[in-house]
């Protein structure tokens, strides 16, 4: 880690020294030495409370981290994002998802053009369309109102709306079903279609490119399903699309009125705020969707205007970086204690790992250290009885995010959930020393002690509403962006997913039964062997005759 402009920075060097000095300091001692630690190291922002007192750090750590953030140009990077600069440098694009939740009169510029008139016009069209579909005014080819929404997409065109629709289930119209299809294993779409009335079904094909193999495959199945049951002429009344590729959507047979644009300055993993959220809009209603945008907009204003040391996304980003760079934390765990947030870990995993899972910095040089953490998680209660063992006693410290709502739902459930959540962060922090074990045989003592000293953030929203959900997601988006700025990576491209796509495309003809030998000649023996095994099985020969494989 020596010799790089990042690690040569005085703030970085000071953090290295500071981390060494803190090495033997236990979180228990930090709490014991400062009764006001919670007050000092927690942050309220409207209906959101963030407690970061249970991180192994001090006020000095925070000061040095902010120095590092300033030295790495976080303020300028933040301004560039809001100014619509081409911060996605490898694709020469802006990353202006903040424009999608800009509900003010403010202009937002990309390449010298205010994108807001088009954003607002699209929002107005989405409102009309979703109101009509939701209320039953918009009918299918047989005159039936729409009662089933099926979103077809993958990655950002799937996970975002699926997570939000799931989290806001209480806000959904009860006589409208919403399903999400992403898997090209047609077992998924078949299972969903089985229960649906074609005359009352609306498919939304969400694909920025309108070329993603999995989504096009599923869209084709859905189209055939409609055509078989209602005829070719019904396609226009049973499909809507969200895409930058308006031509391809039209070629698929989707009526122009039902096609909603997104723009190349919207990344897939931050697209739920755009027309990609159409399924949520229909299910929950436009007003709730607007509140979802309002929550994100409030986080945007905070992120844009607050000084770095009073800026929640920046604070959480720098704490994450502190653990990754100076404490050897390889991962972070996202642990919601609220059933409605069960897909939050998946969403944040995609957001963080697709954004910052990079091997090189923006200038093409290798990344430093552990940029881009492994993000995993799951519902807190279930996870307590599974991977929490490693969080408590595994050799590598893994910082955790605990997330819950203070109000709403069944009170008894909430008592149980929150008691557990608070207890988990406490246990991770305090641990248990051998001297505190009662009547434990000496040989069991090492197994029953806990080092503690393990860090966590707790995020509490007053209530889980469209507004607070919007705040929460935007908080993580900005956190990931800030970490990208400090590590020096481009958080907005995803070249790493391309190679697999290309290779799959070139293998598919062989698997389809085409001339395999030519295609496989240049492949390694493992890949060729696996393809051969599949082709044998497909030809009905089956068996695992290893010696016959090429």
Task: Show which residues are catalytic.
Answer: 354, 385, 501
Residue whose CB is less far from ligand F6P, 35 or 500 = 500
Q: How far is the CB of 125 from ligand F6P (least distance, A)?
A: 19
Of 283, 328, 263, which Cα lies nearest the Cα of 150?
Answer: 283
How do beta strands 400-407 and 331-336 pair?
Answer: parallel
Q: How far is the CB of 156 from ligand F6P (least distance, A)?
A: 3
H or E element: which one contains 418?
Answer: helix 411-430
What token pair was written down for 14? 């000071």
Region of 187-195, 208-216, 284-292, 299-307 interacting with ligand F6P (CB under 6 A):
208-216
Q: Which residues contact 415 (CB under 8 A, 6 or more apart)?
A: none
Q: How far is the CB of 48 from ligand F6P (least distance, A)?
A: 27
* Structural contact between residues 321 and 166, judged by C-beta atoms closer than 8 angstroms: no
Q: How far is the CB of 1 from ligand F6P (least distance, A)?
A: 30
Sheet with 374-377, side-by-side order of all strands:
42-45, 48-51, 456-463, 400-407, 331-336, 374-377
Region of 17-25, 193-201, 209-217, 430-438 interacting with ligand F6P (CB under 6 A):
209-217
Residue whose CB is less far from ligand F6P, 128 or 209 = 209
* Structural contact between residues 169 and 206, judged by C-beta atoms closer than 8 angstroms: no
Measured at CB, which residue is nearest to ligand F6P? 268
User: 3-state SS of 210-243?
Assistant: CCCHHHHHHHHHHHHHHHHHHCHHHHHHHEEEEE
Region of 130-138, 173-181, 201-209, 512-520 interacting with ligand F6P (CB under 6 A):
201-209
Return d(Cα 380, Cα 225) in angstroms, integer.
39
Residue whose CB is less far from ligand F6P, 171 or 269 = 269
Residue whose CB is less far from ligand F6P, 210 or 376 = 210
If one asks whether residue 61 binds ligand F6P (CB under 6 A), the answer comes out as no
If one asks whether residue 215 binds ligand F6P (CB under 6 A), the answer comes out as yes
* Structural contact between residues 295 and 468, judged by C-beta atoms closer than 8 angstroms: yes
Region of 111-119, 172-180, 205-213, 331-339 interacting with ligand F6P (CB under 6 A):
205-213
Helix axes 10-22, 59-71, angle to 10 degrees: 160
If one asks whether residue 494 binds ligand F6P (CB under 6 A), the answer comes out as yes
Element counts in the chain: helices (H) and strands (E): 24, 13
Radius of gyration, CA atoms only, the chain: 26
Which of 142, 177, 209, 393 binds ligand F6P (CB under 6 A)? It is 209
Q: How far is the CB of 150 from ligand F6P (least distance, A)?
A: 16
Name the DSSP class of 134: H
433: helix, coil or strand?
coil
Of 506, 519, 516, which Cα lies nearest the Cα of 538?
Answer: 516
Return d(Cα 489, Cα 142) in angstroms, integer.
52
CA-CA-CA-CA torsion sign (303, 308, 312, 315): positive
If one asks whether residue 503 binds ligand F6P (CB under 6 A), the answer comes out as no
What token pair was written down for 423? 């207890």
Return d(Cα 194, Cα 95) in angstroms, integer.
39
Region of 103-111, 114-122, 207-215, 515-523 interacting with ligand F6P (CB under 6 A):
207-215
Q: How far is the CB of 91 from ligand F6P (least distance, A)?
A: 11
What token pair was written down for 93? 């694009």
Return d(Cα 489, Cα 448) in angstroms, integer.
42
Residue whose CB is less far from ligand F6P, 101 or 208 = 208
Which of 61, 88, 212, 327 binds ligand F6P (CB under 6 A)? It is 212
Q: Print the binding letters for residues 160-199 with ligand F6P: x by CB under 6 A, - otherwise.
A: ----------------------------------------
Of 213, 215, 214, which Cα lies nearest the Cα of 242?
Answer: 215
Residue whose CB is less far from ligand F6P, 58 or 207 = 207
Residue whose CB is less far from ligand F6P, 279 or 291 = 279
Q: How far is the CB of 337 from ligand F6P (least distance, A)?
A: 28
User: How many chain residues are in contact with ligand F6P, going by CB under 6 A?
Assistant: 13
Residue whose CB is less far from ligand F6P, 215 or 327 = 215
Q: Which of positions 131-160 make contact with ligand F6P (CB under 6 A)?
A: 154-157
If one asks whether residue 497 binds ligand F6P (CB under 6 A), the answer comes out as yes
Rounded to the nearest 10°, the torsion over CA 21, 27, 28, 32 is 70
Q: Print the binding letters for residues 259-298 with ligand F6P: x by CB under 6 A, - otherwise.
A: ---------xx-----------------------------
Q: How far is the CB of 501 from ligand F6P (least distance, A)?
A: 7
Task: State phi, psi for 80 to the nearest 5 degrees.
Answer: -65, -40
Which of 207, 270, 311, 356 binds ligand F6P (CB under 6 A)? It is 207
Region of 41-49, 202-210, 514-522, 533-541 interacting with ligand F6P (CB under 6 A):
202-210
Residue whose CB is less far from ligand F6P, 276 or 398 = 276
Which of 208, 237, 347, 523 binds ligand F6P (CB under 6 A)? It is 208
Name the DSSP class of 19: H
Count how many residues are written for the chain. Answer: 550
Name the DSSP class of 264: T
Q: How far is the CB of 506 from ligand F6P (least distance, A)?
A: 17
Return d(Cα 428, Cα 430) in angstroms, integer.
6
Q: How far is the CB of 375 from ligand F6P (least distance, A)?
A: 16
Q: Which residues bind ligand F6P (CB under 6 A)?
A: 154-157, 207-209, 212, 215, 268-269, 494, 497
């Amino acid at each position: 880690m020596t010799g790089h402009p990042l690690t040569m920075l005085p703030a970085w060097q000071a953090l290295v020294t500071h981390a060494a000095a803190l090495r033997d300091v236990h979180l228990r001692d930090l709490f014991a030495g400062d009764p006001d630690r919670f007050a000092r190291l927690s942050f309220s922002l409207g209906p959101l409370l963030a407690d970061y007192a249970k991180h192994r750090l001090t006020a000095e750590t925070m000061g040095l981290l902010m120095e590092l953030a300033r030295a790495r140009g976080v303020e300028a990077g933040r301004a560039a994002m809001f100014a619509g600069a081409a911060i996605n440098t490898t694709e020469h694009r802006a990353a202006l998802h903040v424009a999608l939740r800009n509900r003010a009169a403010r202009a937002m510029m990309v390449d010298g053009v205010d994108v807001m008139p088009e954003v607002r016009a699209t929002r107005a069209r989405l409102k009309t369309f979703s109101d009509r579909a939701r209320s039953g005014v918009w009918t299918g080819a047989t005159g039936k109102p729409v009662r089933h929404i099926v979103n077809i997409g993958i990655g950002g065109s799937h996970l975002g709306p699926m997570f939000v629709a799931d989290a806001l289930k209480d806000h959904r119209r009860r006589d409208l079903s919403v399903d999400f299809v992403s898997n090209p294993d047609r077992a998924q779409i078949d299972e969903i279609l089985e229960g649906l009335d074609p005359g009352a079904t609306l498919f939304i094909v969400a694909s920025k490119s309108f070329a993603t193999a999995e989504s096009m495959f599923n869209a084709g199945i859905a189209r055939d399903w409609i055509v078989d049951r209602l005829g070719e002429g019904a396609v226009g009344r049973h499909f809507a699309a969200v895409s930058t590729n308006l031509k391809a959507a039209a070629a698929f047979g989707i009526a122009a009125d039902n096609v909603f644009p997104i723009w190349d300055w919207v990344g897939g993993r931050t697209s739920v705020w755009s027309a990609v959220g159409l399924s949520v809009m229909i299910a929950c209603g436009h007003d709730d969707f607007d509140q979802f945008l309002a929550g994100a907009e409030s986080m945007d204003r905070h992120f844009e205007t607050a000084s770095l040391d009073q800026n929640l996304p920046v604070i959480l980003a720098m704490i994450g970086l502190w653990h990754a760079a100076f404490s050897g934390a390889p991962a972070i765990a996202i642990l919601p204690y609220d059933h409605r947030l069960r897909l939050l870990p998946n969403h944040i995993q995609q957001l963080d790992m697709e954004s910052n899972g990079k091997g090189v910095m923006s200038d093409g040089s290798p990344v430093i250290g552990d940029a881009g953490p492994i993000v995993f998680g799951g519902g807190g209660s279930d996870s307590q009885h599974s991977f929490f063992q490693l969080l408590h006693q595994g050799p590598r410290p893994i910082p955790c995010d605990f997330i819950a709502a203070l109000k709403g739902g069944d009170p008894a459930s909430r008592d149980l959930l929150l008691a557990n959540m608070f207890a988990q962060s406490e246990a991770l922090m305090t641990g248990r020393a051998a001297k505190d074990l009662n009547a434990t045989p000496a040989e069991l003592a090492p197994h029953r002690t806990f080092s503690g000293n393990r860090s966590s953030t707790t995020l509490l929203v007053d209530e889980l509403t469209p507004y607070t959900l919007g705040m929460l997601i935007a908080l993580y988006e900005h956190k990931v962006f800030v970490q990208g700025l400090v590590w020096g990576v481009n958080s907005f491209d995803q070249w790493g997913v391309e190679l697999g796509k290309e290779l799959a495309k070139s293998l598919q003809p062989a698997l389809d039964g085409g001339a395999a030998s030519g295609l496989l000649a240049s492949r390694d023996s493992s890949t060729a062997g696996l393809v051969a095994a599949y082709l044998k099985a497909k030809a009905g020969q089956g068996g695992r005759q290893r010696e016959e494989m090429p």
